Amino acid sequence: MVRTRVAPSPTGDPHVGTAYMALFSYCYAKQHGGQFLLRIEDTDTARSTAKSEQAIIDSLHWLGLDWDEGPDCGGSKGPYRQSERLPVYQEYAEQLLENDHAFHCFCTAERLQQMRAEQKQNGQTARYDGLCAGLSAQQVTERKAAGAESVIRMKVPSEGVCIVEDALRGSIEIEYAQIDMQVLVKADGFPTYHLAVVVDDHLMEISHIIRGEEWINSAPKHQLLYGYFGWQMPELIHMPLLRNPDKSKLSKRKNPTSISFYKDMGYLPEALLNYLGMLGWSMPGGEERFSLDDMIDQFDISRISLGAPVFDVTKLKWLNGRWLREVLDEDGFAARLSEWVYNRDKLMQIIPLVKERVDVFSDLGKMISFFVEGMPDLGPDDFDYKGAVTEQQVKVLQFSLWLMEGDIDWHSSALQQGLVALAEAMDMKIRDFLKPLFIAVSGKPVSPPLFDSLVVLGPEISRGRLRHALAVLGGVSKKKLKKLDSEFKTLS
RNA sequence: GUCCCCUUCGUCUAGAGGCCUAGGACUCCAGGUUUUCAUCCUGGCAACGGGGGUUCGAAACCCCCAGGGGACGCCA
């Protein structure tokens, strides 16, 4: 039985890279008549949020990548949220300890940092030096009794070569000496990714792991753990990483990476999926427009190319256009359009903002057009008003963007509070402060109330517009960004 | 720095030793259709990273180099 999974961590916006892995995992499972599951990897207590988990679930459902088992729908191998499986990991960590495959480690962060720095300086791979590996049971007990914090690390052979099989690349050889004695259980008692993923994939009977290439280097650790437990290793399929136009790993600083951004911009889920499918994979017949079902029918991992593809929004846009005009008839188009923006929920959000400002319906057009625009059509001239200082505007926009990228509740009052506080910290009148934001967000010097508008637009589009405005104003150099960053930090 | 992965037009890709004077698509340019624009159609620009092998024959196989990317966390 083929069983695949996608296992995102609920930190921040749901990423197109997650959708990419989910798509390939889904296709592989479905093609083989197997199951696809969703597991939430929330073992990082500091960064995981329920909000993010919900956003991931919503985004993947929007795309139509539905799972057979998961935290929202249950299943026989649950729970599917790692924070709810703590006793399970504890049991297996205990087992490793008993069989001498793991050990307690009391090293401090400072010591580890120093050790790594020295190793790197000596041209070695940074790796735990094994100081605590030889501690006796008695020593461990004593130190614990004395209240010392500790973690559990896995043991790794000091010699030899580990060979992991990748379904796309064949054998990959990595010397054990290169492999770190990974922490398996943190001081807070939570497992790290490495322990949790192995235990869960085995218990959930995952047969094929489709994940990003970034994981290749930790595959030996996982294989070692499978060996320690006496479990069968699943097939490994490492997908190439999606990249920014500058070839670095796809990141939100350089490219919109959030699935909801594309949803809010008015892309069709079918088109996004289709585009993701053509990155690193192609239909045997060379068709560029294909549906999820087409992909499942024709899927074949031997058609995956290994060069990491650049996520090119221009081509995605063209593809979306094809779906819009070639696949949808007029009824379908109308249905999708109202689903996107002219739905009742959205209108009910917008109406309170414009009702007082309108005499006849025909006044409405120019007032609300910015709610349905992607990026407003802006030029530097639009920021040229009485008393305008570009330098200052850039600062306002960049600082506001950072504020909005932070952990802020996307509600009118929270946004108002945050921005007003920022204006005060910058010693600016709120009116002057808000002006460039109005222009950036609405494309006009006047618009319905800003904070409420931001809420209607949503975080993705709002941030996108601020970035767009910054670019219109000439962009911010790396050097300047650094300077602004330190200034921003002193303010907040 | 150490280790790992990758390498065909600017970008996404086809290519499983002869069908390759390397095909398609996006972008861009030129032309046509269209009252405008868009769509659509036609055409054009543009690539096998370099060097060694193997072979009658290499974009494809092997080796070296270079370039790019990734990993080196009590993040995932």
Please report the domains of chain A, with CATH numbers, ordered by start residue.
3-83+242-326 (3.40.50.620), 85-239 (3.40.50.620), 380-491 (1.10.10.350)
Lowest mean pLDDT, pick from A37-51, A175-189, A220-234, A251-265: A251-265
| pLDDT for the residue numbered A36 | 98
Nucleotide nearest to A149 (CA to C1'): B74
Nucleotide nearest to A8 (CA to C1'): B76
| ipTM metric | 0.95
Distance CA A331 to C1' B62 in A: 58
CA atoms of A478 and A341, how far apart (whole Å): 37
Of A468, A467, A487, A482, nearest to A422 (Cα)? A487
CA atoms of A328 and A87, how far apart (whole Å): 50
- A291 burial (CB, 10 Å; 0-12 / 13-18 / 19+) is middle
Of A242, A313, A247, A249, nearest to A279 (Cα)? A242
| pLDDT for the residue numbered A345 | 80
Distance CA A304 to C1' B60 in A: 16
SS (H, E, C) chain A: CCEEEECCCCCCCCEHHHHHHHHHHHHHHHHCCCEEEECECCCCCCCCCHHHHHHHHHHHHHHCCCCCEECCCECCCCCCEHHHCHHHHHHHHHHHHHCCCEEEECCCHHHHHHHHHHHHHCCCCCCCCCHHHHCCHHHHHHHHHCCCCCEEEECCCCCCEEEEEECCCEEEEEEHHHCCCCEEECCCCCECHHHHHHHHHHHCCCCEEEEEHHHHHHHHHHHHHHHHHCCCCCEEEEECCCECCCCCECCCCCCCCEHHHHHHCCCCHHHHHHHHHHCCECCCCCCCCCCHHHHHHHCCHHHECCCCCECCHHHHHHHHHHHHHHHCCHHHHHHHHHHHCCCHHHHHHHHHHHHHHCCCHHHHHHHHHHHHCCCCCCCHHHHCCCCCCHHHHHHHHHHHHHHHHCCCCCCHHHHHHHHHHHHHHCCCCHHHHHHHHHHHHHCCCCCCCHHHHHHHHHHHHHHHHHHHHHHHCCCCCHHHHHHHHHHHHHHC
Instruction: Place A492 in a pLDDT band, splitting at 50, 70 and 90.
Output: low
Is residue A378 pLDDT above 70, yes or no? yes
| pLDDT for the residue numbered A214 | 95
Q: Which residues of A are catalytic?
A: 252
- Residue with more model confidence, A365 or A265: A265
Question: Protein footprint on strand B: which nucleotides are under 7 Å from a CB?
Answer: 1-8, 10-16, 23-27, 39-40, 68-76
CA atoms of A430 and A428, how far apart (whole Å): 6
pLDDT tens, position by position, A29-46:
999 999 999 999 999 988
| pLDDT for the residue numbered A368 | 85
Percent of chain A at pLDDT above 70?
Answer: 100
State the nearest residue by CA to the C1' of B10: A245
Q: Are A83 and A43 in contact (CB under 8 A)?
A: yes
CA atoms of A178 and A387, how far apart (whole Å): 60
Structure tokens at A55: 């956003």
Lowest mean pLDDT, pick from A186-195, A198-207, A385-394: A385-394
Q: Are A265 and A257 in contact (CB under 8 A)?
A: no
Structure tokens at A217: 């280097």
Most confident of A139-153, A305-319, A444-458: A305-319
Q: Which amino acid is at A11?
A: T
State the nearest residue by CA to the C1' of B3: A178
Mean pLDDT in residue range A4-26: 96
pLDDT tens, position by position, A418-464:
999 889 888 888 888 999 999 999 887 777 888 999 999 888 889 98
State the nearest residue by CA to the C1' of B68: A247
Q: 10 Å Cβ neighbour count for A415?
A: 23
Q: Are A190 and A200 in contact (CB under 8 A)?
A: no
Is residue A357 pLDDT above 70, yes or no? yes
Is residue A287 pLDDT above 70, yes or no? yes
State the nearest residue by CA to the C1' of B6: A307
Distance CA A62 to C1' B29 in A: 39
Nucleotide nearest to A184 (CA to C1'): B74
Is residue A167 pLDDT above 90, yes or no? yes
State the nearest residue by CA to the C1' of B25: A288
Strands of the A151-154 sheet, one edge to the other: A102-105, A151-154, A183-185
Nucleotide nearest to A218 (CA to C1'): B71
Please identify which residue in the block is written with the tokens 């790396």: A478
Mean pLDDT in residue range A275-297: 96
Nucleotide nearest to A310 (CA to C1'): B11
- Residue with more model confidence, A345 or A100: A100
Distance CA A448 to C1' B70 in A: 46
Q: Which amino acid is at A228?
A: Y
The residues facing A281 across adjacent strands are: A304
Is residue A269 pLDDT above 80, yes or no? yes
- Whole-model pTM: value is 0.91
For chain A, the average pLDDT equals: 91
Distance CA A227 to C1' B60 in A: 38
pLDDT tens, position by position, A121-145:
888 888 998 888 888 888 888 888 8
CA-atom Rg of chain A in angstroms: 26
CA atoms of A279 and A240, how far apart (whole Å): 9
Distance CA A163 to C1' B63 in A: 22
| pLDDT for the residue numbered A272 | 98
Is residue A365 pLDDT above 90, yes or no? no
| pLDDT for the residue numbered A22 | 98
pLDDT tens, position by position, A203-220:
999 999 999 999 999 999
